[in-house]
Amino acid sequence: MFPQTRLRRLRRTPVLRDLVAETAVSLDDLIYPIFVEEEEDHRSDLATMPGIARVPEQDLADEVRRVADAGVRSVVLFGVSHHKDAVGSETLRDDGLVARMITTAKRAAPELVVVADTCFCEYTDHGHCGVLKDGYVDNDTTIENLGRQAVIAAEAGADIIAPSAMMDGQVAAIRRALDAAGHTMMPIMSYSSKFSSDMYGPFRAAGGTSLEGDRSTYMMDYRNGREALRESALDEAEGADILMVKPALLYLDVVTRLRDASPLPICVYNVSGEYAMLKFAAQAGAIDEDKVLLEMLTAFKRAGAALIITYSALDFARLVDG
Ligand SMILES: [Zn+2]
C-alpha cells in the first residue's frame, strides 16, 4: 500500500525501465510475406498496402536477397497464379508456381526460413480454399489434396508447412502425407484459429483472388473464443508443431488464452487490414507509424506470441537498424 509501495520507483530512468521490461520484440521473431506473380515482368505496387508490391517471379531471387540482407530471417510466400482452375492443380505439380517459388527463394538465400503457405484459394478460379461440391467446400477431398501440396512444397525445399485452409483433419492428413514421403522432420505450423474476418480485404486484392460467396463455412466465427481453443487442441493432437491465431490485433484475448492452454509456440498473423490501418492512419498524420508499430508488435509478444507474420517486417528492420 502507498506510501510503502510506489510503482513509479522502477520507472524513473530508461535503464531501470529496460532492466525490468518483460517483453521485447526482435527481428528473429518476424516472418515477412511476399506476393509472387508469375508471367509478369514489372512490380505492381498495391494501392491498399503502401510499401508492398506483387513481385514478378523473375525478380524473386533479388527480392529474397534484399529481405535477407535487411536482417529478416523468415519469409512466407504467396503465389499470384495465372493458371487457376477448379481444384488449384497448379499447386500439385512439381513444376508449378508453389514449387518454383520455394526453390528460387531457397537458392537465393539458403539461410532464410521459407514458410510454405499450404492452401488452394490463390490457385482456384472460384477463390475457395478447396474443392467445391455443389457450392460447398468438400472437406475430405481437400485434405487429401493439402497432403499432396505439402509434399510438393517439402520436396521443393520448404522449411515449414503452414496449412491455412481451416479444413477438419488437415493437420493429420498433411502429417501422414509428409511422413509417408520421408519428410518426418518437416514442422507443421497450423493456422489453427483462423477467423472469418473482413480484415483480409487488401490481401485478396494483392493475391488476385475473386471469391464467390464467403468462407464462413470453414473459417471460424469471430464471436467464438472458446472454439479457438478447441480448434487448436485438435490441431495439437493431430501433430501440429506451431499454432496460429489470425488475424492478430483484434484477437489478442484468444492468443493469451491459447498461451495458457497449450505449450506449443504460437504465431500471430498481423494481417493486411491491420497493416493498412497502421499505414493510412500514419499517412493521415494521426499516429506515428514507427512508435505504433513497435507498440503493436510488442503487444503481440506480451499476449503470448512467439512468431509474428507481418508486412511491417522490413519497416521494423529499418527501425532497429537505427
Ligand atoms: Zn485459403
The answer to whether residue 1 is domain-embedded is no
CA distance 205 to 194: 19
Determine the distance separating the centroid of ligand 1 and the alpha carbon of 24, expressed in angstroms: 31
Report pLDDT digits (tens) over 235-283: 999 999 999 999 999 999 999 999 999 999 999 999 999 999 999 999 9
**CA 25 / ligand 1 centre spacing (Å):** 28
Q: Is the pLDDT assigned to residue 208 strictly greater than 80? A: no
Note whether residue 10 is domain-resident. Answer: no
What is residue 103's predicted lDDT score, i.e. its pLDDT? Answer: 98
Q: How many angstroms does the Cα of residue 6 sit away from the middle of ligand 1?
A: 51
**Residues 65-81: tens digit of each pLDDT:** 999 999 999 999 999 99
**Pick the catalytic residue: 106, 194, 279, 301?**
194
Residue 233 is assigned to a structural domain of this protein: yes
Q: C-alpha angle 234/239/245, rounded to 5°? A: 60
Nearest Cα residue to 205 out of 271, 114, 134: 271
Distance CA 240, CA 228 (A): 15
pLDDT of residue 224: 98
Going through the chain in order, the beta strands assigned E by DSSP cover: 30-37, 44-45, 53-56, 74-80, 113-118, 132-133, 136-137, 160-163, 193-194, 243-246, 266-270, 307-310
Which one of 84, 106, 246, 301 is the catalytic residue?
246
**pLDDT at residue number 204:** 82
pLDDT at 269: 98
Give residue 205's pLDDT: 79
Contacts of residue 152, defined as CB under 8 A and 6 or more positions apart, other chains included, come to 91, 92, 93, 94, 96, 98, 99
Please report whether residue 7 resides in a domain. no
Mean pLDDT of 82-92: 96
Distance 117 CA to ligand 1 centre (A): 9
Q: What is the CATH number of the domain that holds 81?
A: 3.20.20.70
Close Cβ partners of 50 (under 8 Å, ≥ 6 residues apart):
279, 280, 283
pLDDT band at 207 (very low <50, low <70, confident <90, very high): confident
According to DSSP, the residues that pair with 278 across neighbouring strands are: none
Ligand 1 mean position, distance from CA 219 (Å): 10
Is 4 part of a structural domain of the chain? no
Which amino acid does the sequence have at 17? R
Q: What is the mean pLDDT of residues 146-151?
A: 98
Count of structural domains, the chain: 1
Q: How far, in Å, from the CA of 127 to the mean position of ligand 1?
A: 8
- The rounded distance, in Å, linking the Cα atoms of 232 and 245 is 9
Helix axes 252-261, 226-238, angle to 10 degrees: 50
pLDDT digits (tens, 9 = 90+) for 133-142: 999 999 999 9
Give me ligand 1 centre to Cα 299, in Å. Answer: 27
pTM of structure = 0.97
Span 33-52, average pLDDT = 96
Q: Ligand 1 centre and the CA of 129: distance in Å?
A: 4
- Beta strand 53-56 with 132-133: parallel, antiparallel or unpaired? unpaired
* Predicted local confidence at residue 206, as pLDDT: 80
- Helix 97-108 with 60-69: angle, nearest 10 deg: 40
Active-site residue flag, 246? yes
In a domain, residue 266? The reply is yes
Q: Is the pLDDT of residue 322 over 90?
A: no
pLDDT of residue 241: 98
Let me know if residue 8 belongs to a domain. no
Predicted confidence at residue 210, as pLDDT, reads: 75
Residue 12 lies in a domain: no
Percentage with pLDDT > 70 across the chain: 100
Q: State the residue range of the domain holding 54.
A: 21-320
